[in-house]
Amino acid sequence: MNSLEQEFLDKIEKHKGIIFKISKMYMSEKDDRDDLFQEITYQIWKAYLNFRGQSEFSTWLYRIALNTAIIFLKSEKKRSFISNGELSVFKVIQDEYDDGKEEKLAQMYRAIRQLNPIDKAFIFYYLEDFSGKDIAEQMGISEGNARVRMNRAKNKLKDILNSNKS
């Protein structure tokens, strides 16, 4: 294995949580999540030689991962709409491995998967604590537009979570 490959593998290992979260947000079935995880990793590898370090690796990875997930979802036409959710777990994704929160986390992911691909991206950025400015840069829109679309995505998710409580 050459040094470029090792460098890439080290970076993927360090940031695999990002890829895992995106895969889980966009796909409900484990096999589909695994396929998407693999596709994202492959797309990052294909683009890796073009990474010039003008931004953080994680920022660059976010953009590729989200774009790949959206394209993967559209091309495979894999959509799963499962009802269930709870608003109180809106930020619980930050602590994926807490056993007491596992079911709430699963409910949250099911609710997120009901959103359209662009709203999922906004929710992902929100959960990762991106600023409005950073979201705007990632999405290629104005900061004001990013904030408006973020609020709309959050409201849609709240509506889904609230309707699933009934």
Q: What CATH number is given to the structural domain containing 100? A: 1.10.10
| Whole-number Å distance between alpha carbons of 27 and 130 | 22
pLDDT tens, position by position, 56-115:
898 899 889 988 988 887 665 433 332 333 333 333 333 444 445 567 777 788 889 899
Last residue of a domain, one of 63, 80, 97: 80
Q: What CATH number is given to the structural domain containing 64? A: 1.10.1740.10
Domain, as residue range, for 43? 1-80
Instruction: Decide: pTM greater than 0.85.
Output: no
108 and 163, same domain (yes or no): yes
Can you say how many angstroms the Cα of residue 9 is from the centroid of all Cα atoms in its chain? 20
Number of domains into which the chain is organized = 2
96 and 127, same domain (yes or no): yes
70 and 91, same domain (yes or no): no
Is-contact 124 25, C-beta < 8 A? yes
One-letter identity of residue 154:
K
One-letter identity of residue 6:
Q
| Whole-number Å distance between alpha carbons of 106 and 110 | 6
> Residue 160 CB: number of other CB atoms within 10 A?
20
120 and 51, same domain (yes or no): no
